[in-house]
Structures are given as C-alpha cells and as structure tokens.
C-alpha cells in the first residue's frame, strides 16, 4: 500500500505527534502503538513528529539497575532502531532521557505498566533480556526532565506547521500542554494507561495529579477503550463529552500450527504475573477445571512478583502436576505456545486494552476474557466473564474443550472481529474525533471517496 503517494488536499489536518521510541529495540507496547498509529495516520494526514530520544548510556544504566550486565553501551549504540519512522517525512528528535514506563517510587510499587507481554523483551542481536524494573533512581529528577523536555518541545514547535497537537500518555502530555500554552493550538491526548491502572485506585501521587491536570487542560481525550474512558471519568472526574474512544489496532501476524508437546489440552495465560493481570484468579479457575477434567494443562507464560506465590499455591492445591509456570519467555517462544494452545484465558483485573487476547485470536485460539478489559469491547468472538467469577470462566473452558462446534464458532467469529482491529481503523477514528470536536473541517464528498478507494 502506498504511503506518501496520496494527494493530500488542503483540508487534510496537520498533526504534531508527540511520540515514543523508547526503549530502543523493544518490540511492543506504547512505542509500537504510537508508531503504528502514526504510520496509519500519515496515509491521510500530514504528520510531524517530536520524539524524545534517549541516549544509549541512559538505557544501559536502566538495564544495569535491573541487573542485566550483558548489554553494553557500545552494542546499544550500534543497534539501530527497529521501528523507525522512516515513512514519516518530518521527524524531530529532542535529547531527553525519559522513560514512558516511569513509576512514582513513592508509591512503593514497581509495576510494569505495559499492555503487551512483548514489552518485556529486549532483543539485542541474539541476546534477549527482560526489563522489569523502572528507573527509581531519578526520583524528583523526572519532574525537572519532563518540564525541560516540554519547554524544548515547545521551542521546536514554534518553527513547525501544525493544526493539532497529539500526545501519548502523561509524559508527552506535559510537552503537549506546554505547546498548547505557547501556540494556542488544540491538544489531543491519547491515553494508553493511567496511574490509577498502574498503581491501583489509591495512587494519588504527583503523577496522578499531573495526569488529571493535563486531561482537564486537553481538548480531547482518546482512551484506547471505553473501559479506560470510564477510568478517566470515574477516577479523574473528566466529563464524558471530552472522551472519544479509539480502540487499538494490531499488526498482522502469520500464524502457524505448532506440534503438541503433551497429549493433554493446553489452557494458556500470557502476561506479567502482577496483580493487574489477575494471576490468582487463573489458578482458582485451573483448580475448578482440573477437579472435573484432568486431561488439561494450565500454562502461564511470563514472570513477575507473583511467580513464587503461584508455585506455592499450585502445590497447596494439589494441581502442581498440571500447572506450569514457564518464567520469562521471549517473543518467539510465546508464539510457539500460542501455536499449540487450545484455550486462551485473560483474567485481568483492570486492562486498558489487552492486546495479548488479540494475539491469541490471530493464532486461532478461542479466548475466555475478563469483562474488565478494553479488548472485550472489540472481540465479539470471545467468552466473557467478570474477573472474579472463576466458576463461570471454568465452565467456559470446559465447554470449549468439550465442544468443538462451540470452539470453532468462537474462533470464526473472533477472526471476523480482526477485520476491525486495525491501525487504519484507529486512524480513521482519530480523524473522526478531530472532526467531531471541530478541530478540522468535515470531509468533502470527494475526499470521502478518495479515502474509501485508497483504503479498499
């Protein structure tokens, strides 16, 4: 599909996108979401980007904090950016050592607030390593750095042409606020996750305060799901009139059918073993299923602070022989599991989107997912339960494992859902949002036709 050969009419919006490309070479999460959305938007609009660029030493220090000494600065400098914005004409970098996954250490929780399991992996050549702590050493320094970044970005913005400022999550939100203040252009903030999600509903530290102020100052908020929209409304008291949901897309993948390692069926969980992902509910569900049917194994791919407690719990419940924790797995290994699984379960307690469930759909696995997730809004083809309703989830798993008609139907319906889960759709929704709030004029009929033929 052509990227920049579309004639753009004068009424095509000029967007100043405040994006992410940190950490380098990580595949997934905020960086990918931002990148993929931008590429899709660039087909229909003029996109200019400002990206905070971290120097490799900063990255290394981060990794060192986690105790990964296998990567050195030299190696990192030589490794190119996997996801480059080559397709976007105007990309500006500002040196700013910022980490989008920063967590306020005062809350005492170091939770990785990414939506996809991929974010854990760093691939540097053939090395893979996991990032699971966020820089806590920078403390109050972060405030200063973010502010400085904001001012530098605003400075840069004066020399650029744009109609709309579009930021992603709170750090670039601050830059966006600065730019709006100085240029008077409208500010749109894309919300992938919030402090309240990351740290729990009682996280009301300065990050929360900043998010709240920023969202009040912004003209439009674009959460990745209605679920997150509710969080914005309920926990930040922002009126619904400002909220315009833009569901995430996903990159197409070539699925494959893997060979079974064992004769039993496999029920799979992929994700961080943290409170937010509901791993304790997964084990309760497993217990109930295994009480009735021993011909199934439960596999959890991922690691986190719940790793040891889960092992112990499984042993206590007497299901250790059918319950497996793989620990950290890289992308390829996760895909191998997906290629063999019979049922995918996502018991998240609070999930802004939940791309992992869509990955399961790409591999043709029927899914049982929590209603407290953004992805449940776009997957008709899935069986949904309230994350605490382990009885219902267990029943669903048993029905899927014992009824091929049901499994196939769910699989087929989910496959159809994939048609709508695309970044092109997301880009269209973003533009609809701009129009709805009158940040740009309505499309003329001719422009509509052009858009439709190009995308068909």
Partner 1 sequence: MPSVCFYFQVHQPFRLKRYSFFDIGKDHFYEDDEKNRKILDKVSEKCYLKTNRKILDLINRHKGKFKVSYSLSGTAIEQFELHRPDVLESFKDLAKTGCVEFLSETYYHSLSFLYSKEEFKRQVEMHREKIKEHFGQSPKVFRNTELIYSNEVASFIEKMGYKAILCEGVDRLLGKRTPNYLYQAATTLKIKSFLKNYSLSDDIAFRFSDRNWTEWPLHADTFAKWVHKIAGDGEVLNLFMDYETFGEHQWEETGIFDFLDHLPKEILKHPDFDFKTISEAADSLRVRDIYDAPDFTSWADAERDLSAWLSNPMELESARRLYALEEKVKAIGNKDLIDVWGKLQTSDHFYYMCTKFWADGDVHKYFSPYDSPYDAYIYYMNILADFESTIEEAYKDFKSVKKVTKKKETV
The minimum distance between CB 439 and partner 1, in angstroms, equals 29
Q: Do residues 174 and 150 touch, judged by C-beta distance below 8 A?
A: yes
| Phi, psi angle pair for 367, to nearest 5° | -120, 150
Q: Which pair of structure tokens corresponds to residue 385? A: 């339960």
> Is 42 in a helix, a strand, or coil?
helix
Nearer to partner 1, 412 or 432 (CB): 412
**What does each C-alpha distance from 290 to 85, 225, 267, 348 come to in angstroms?**
48, 34, 11, 21
We find the least distance from the C-beta atom of residue 343 to partner 1, in angstroms, to be 13
Provide the minimum distance between the beta carbon of 88 and partner 1 in the complex, in angstroms, as a whole number: 36
Q: Is 386 in the site for partner 1 (CB under 8 A)?
A: no
Q: Which of 331, 392, 418, 437 binds partner 1 (CB under 8 A)?
A: 392
**Helix 141-157 with 169-183: angle, nearest 10 deg:** 40
Does position 278 interact with partner 1 (CB under 8 A)? The reply is: no
391 binds partner 1 (CB under 8 A): yes
Smallest distance from the beta carbon of 291 to partner 1, in angstroms? 9
Residue among 245, 235, 240, 247 at smallest CA distance from 207:
235
Based on CB atoms, which residue is closest to partner 1, 89 or 380?
380
Rule CB under 8 A: say whether 399 interacts with partner 1. Answer: yes
Does 74 bind partner 1 (CB under 8 A)? Our answer is: no
CB contact set of 50 (below 8 Å; sequence gap of 6+): 16, 17, 18, 19, 92, 93, 94, 153, 156, 157, 175
Residues 447, 373: Cα–Cα separation, whole Å: 35
Q: How far is the CB of 392 from partner 1 (least distance, A)?
A: 7
* 28-36, 199-207, 211-219, 387-395 -> range binding partner 1 (CB under 8 A): 387-395
- Of the candidates 424, 407, 399, the one whose C-alpha atom is nearest the C-alpha of residue 341 is 407
- Site size toward partner 1 (CB under 8 A) is 20
Tell which one of 403, 420, 442, 444 touches partner 1 (CB under 8 A).
403
Site for partner 1 in 344-383 (CB under 8 A): 380, 383
Q: For partner 1, which stretch binds (CB under 8 A), given 276-284, 329-337, 393-401, 439-447? A: 393-401
Interface region with partner 1, contact rule CB under 8 A, candidates 53-61, 80-88, 194-202, 402-410: 402-410
* Closest to partner 1 by CB, 246 or 394: 394
Of the candidate residues 241, 405, 445, 456, the single one contacting partner 1 (CB under 8 A): 405
Q: Which residues pair with 46 in a beta bridge?
A: 14
Nearest residue to 41 via CA among 440, 429, 436: 429
402, 436, 438, 449: which one binds partner 1 (CB under 8 A): 402
Q: Does 319 bind partner 1 (CB under 8 A)?
A: no
Binding mask 289-318 for partner 1 (x = CB under 8 A): ---x--------------------------
Torsion, Cα 210 88 222 171, to 10 degrees, reads -10
Q: What is the C-alpha separation between 188 and 167, in angstroms, rounded?
A: 6
DSSP result, 346-375: E--SSBS--HHHHHHHHTT--EEEESSBSG
* Interatomic CA distance for residues 183 and 162, integer angstroms: 10
Q: Of 408, 432, 436, 444, which lies in the binding site for partner 1, with binding defined by CB under 8 A?
A: 408
Nearer to partner 1 by Cβ, of 43 and 384: the residue is 384
Q: Which residues bind partner 1 (CB under 8 A)?
A: 288, 292, 380, 383-384, 391-392, 394-396, 398-399, 402-403, 405-406, 408-410, 413
């Amino acid at each position: 599909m052509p990227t920049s050969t579309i004639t753009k009419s004068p009424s095509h919006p000029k967007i100043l996108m405040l994006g992410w490309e940190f950490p380098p070479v990580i595949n997934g999460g905020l960086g990918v979401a931002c990148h993929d959305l931008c590429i899709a938007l660039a087909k229909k609009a003029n996109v200019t980007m400002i990206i905070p660029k971290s120097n490799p030493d900063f990255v290394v220090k981060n990794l060192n904090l986690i105790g990964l000494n296998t990567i050195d600065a030299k190696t990192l400098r030589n490794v190119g950016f996997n996801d480059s914005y080559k397709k976007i004409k105007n990309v500006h970098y500002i040196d700013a050592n910022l980490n989008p996954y920063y967590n306020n250490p005062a809350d005492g929780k170091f939770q990785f607030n990414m939506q996809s399991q991929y974010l854990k992996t760093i691939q540097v050549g053939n090395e893979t390593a996991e990032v699971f702590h966020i820089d806590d050493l920078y403390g109050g320094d972060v405030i200063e750095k973010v502010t400085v970044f904001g001012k530098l970005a605003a400075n840069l913005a004066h020399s650029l042409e744009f109609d709309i400022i579009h930021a992603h999550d709170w750090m670039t939100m601050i830059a966006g606020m600065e730019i709006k203040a100085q240029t008077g252009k409208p500010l749109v903030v894309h919300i992938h996750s919030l402090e309240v999600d990351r740290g729990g509903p009682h996280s009301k530290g300065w990050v929360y305060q900043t998010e709240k102020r920023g969202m009040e100052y912004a003209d439009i908020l674009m959460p990745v799901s209605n679920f997150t929209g509710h969080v914005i409304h309920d926990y930040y008291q922002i009126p619904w009139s400002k909220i315009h949901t833009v569901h995430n897309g996903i990159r197409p993948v070539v699925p494959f059918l893997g060979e079974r390692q064992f004769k039993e069926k496999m029920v799979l969980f992929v994700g961080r073993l943290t409170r937010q992902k509901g791993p304790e509910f997964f084990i309760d569900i497993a217990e109930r299923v295994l009480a009735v049917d021993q011909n199934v194994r439960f596999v959890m791919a991922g690691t986190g602070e719940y790793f040891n407690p889960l092992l112990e719990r499984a042993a206590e419940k007497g299901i250790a022989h059918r319950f497996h924790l793989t620990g950290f797995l890289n992308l390829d290994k996760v895909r191998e599991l997906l290629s063999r699984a019979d049922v995918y379960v996502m018991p998240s307690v609070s999930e802004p989107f939940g791309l992992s469930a869509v990955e399961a759909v790409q591999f043709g696995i029927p899914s049982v997912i929590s209603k407290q997730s953004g992805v449940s809004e776009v997957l008709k083809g899935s069986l949904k339960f309230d994350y605490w309703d382990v009885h219902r989830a267990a029943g669903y798993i048993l029905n899927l494992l014992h009824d091929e008609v049901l499994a196939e139907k769910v699989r087929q319906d989910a496959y159809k859902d994939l048609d709508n889960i695309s970044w092109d759709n997301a880009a269209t929704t973003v533009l609809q949002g701009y129009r709805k709030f009158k940040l740009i004029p309505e499309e003329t009929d001719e422009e509509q036709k052009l858009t439709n033929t190009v995308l068909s």
